C-alpha cells in the first residue's frame, strides 16, 4: 500500500513541476523574495494585489522550484531557492517589480527582495527596486498615445487657423459691404 501512495505523491509533484516549468518559461520576469514572520492578513493582501495586477505569487518548495527552473531563464537564479522564499512571476517585467517593491517597503526585516531574472538577465534586490521605478507598460502606452496625438492635434489647429481667419475676413468684408449699401 505504501508504495502506491508514494507513486501518487511523485506523480503530483511531477505535475506541479511541469506546471511551474511552463509558468517560468512564459514569464518575462521571475523574482525571488525571502519572507519570514508575515501574518496571514498581510499575505492575503499581497496575493490580492498580485492577482489584480496579473502577477503570479507562489510559495514554492525549493527542490521543486529548482527542478522546474531547469531549461528556463529562471535557472540563472535557482541558487536563490533557499529557505522560506516566494516566487513572483509576470509577463510584463515592470508590473511585478512595482507590486512587490511597494509591498516590501517598510517590511525589510520580514520581506527581502533577493534576486530576479528579467528577460534572461540576472539582477539583485537593488536592480528590482530600480526596475520598479520605471514606467509600466500601460504608462508607456499612455505616453506613446500622448506623443502621437500631440503633433496631430497641433496640425489640426494649424490647418483650422487659416480657415477661421479667412471666415472672419469674409464676414468682416460682408459687414463692410452691408454698411456701405
Q: How confident is the model at residue 174 (pLDDT cuts 50, 70, 90)?
A: confident
C-alpha cell at 181: 449699401
78 vs 63: CA distance, rounded Å: 10
Give the model confidence (pLDDT) of 34-54 as tens digits.
988 888 888 898 899 999 989
Same domain, 80 and 127: yes
pTM exceeding 0.85: no
Same domain, 173 and 92: no
Which residues, 6+ apart, have CB-to-CB distance to 39 below 8 Å? none
Same domain, 175 and 120: no
Q: What is the pLDDT of residue 1?
A: 45
Same domain, 100 and 164: no
C-alpha cell at 86: 516566494
User: What backbone phi and psi angles, to 5 degrees, belong to 58?
Assistant: -135, 130
Residue 90: CB atoms within 10 A of its CB come to: 25
Structural domains counted in the chain: 2
Same domain, 9 and 83: yes
- β-pairing, 29-35 with 111-118? antiparallel
Q: How confident is the model at residue 2 (pLDDT cuts 50, 70, 90)?
A: low
Same domain, 43 and 79: yes
Q: What is the pLDDT of residue 158?
A: 67
60 vs 85: CA distance, rounded Å: 7
Of 36, 30, 42, 35, nearest to 118 (Cα)?
30
Same domain, 171 and 109: no
* Domain membership of residue 104 as a residue range: 2-134
Same domain, 92 and 109: yes
Same domain, 93 and 59: yes
Same domain, 33 and 115: yes
Give the model confidence (pLDDT) of 50-72 as tens digits.
999 899 999 989 999 999 999 99
Amino acid at each position: 500500500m505504501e508504495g502506491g501512495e508514494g507513486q501518487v505523491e511523485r506523480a503530483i509533484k511531477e505535475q506541479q513541476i511541469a506546471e511551474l516549468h511552463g509558468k517560468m518559461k512564459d514569464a518575462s520576469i521571475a523574482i525571488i523574495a525571502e519572507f519570514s514572520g508575515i501574518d496571514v492578513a498581510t499575505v492575503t493582501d499581497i496575493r490580492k494585489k498580485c492577482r489584480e495586477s496579473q502577477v503570479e505569487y507562489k510559495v514554492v518548495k525549493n527542490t521543486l522550484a529548482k527542478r522546474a527552473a531547469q531549461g528556463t531563464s529562471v535557472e540563472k537564479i535557482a541558487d536563490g531557492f533557499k529557505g522560506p522564499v516566494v516566487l513572483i512571476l509576470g509577463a510584463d517585467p515592470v508590473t511585478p517589480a512595482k507590486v512587490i517593491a511597494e509591498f516590501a517597503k517598510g517590511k525589510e526585516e520580514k520581506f527581502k527582495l533577493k534576486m530576479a531574472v528579467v528577460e534572461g538577465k540576472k539582477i539583485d534586490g537593488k536592480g528590482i527596486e530600480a526596475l520598479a521605478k520605471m514606467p509600466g507598460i500601460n504608462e508607456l502606452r499612455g505616453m506613446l498615445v500622448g506623443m502621437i496625438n500631440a503633433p496631430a492635434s497641433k496640425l489640426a489647429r494649424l490647418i483650422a487657423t487659416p480657415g477661421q481667419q479667412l471666415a472672419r475676413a469674409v464676414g468682416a468684408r460682408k459687414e463692410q459691404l452691408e454698411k456701405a449699401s
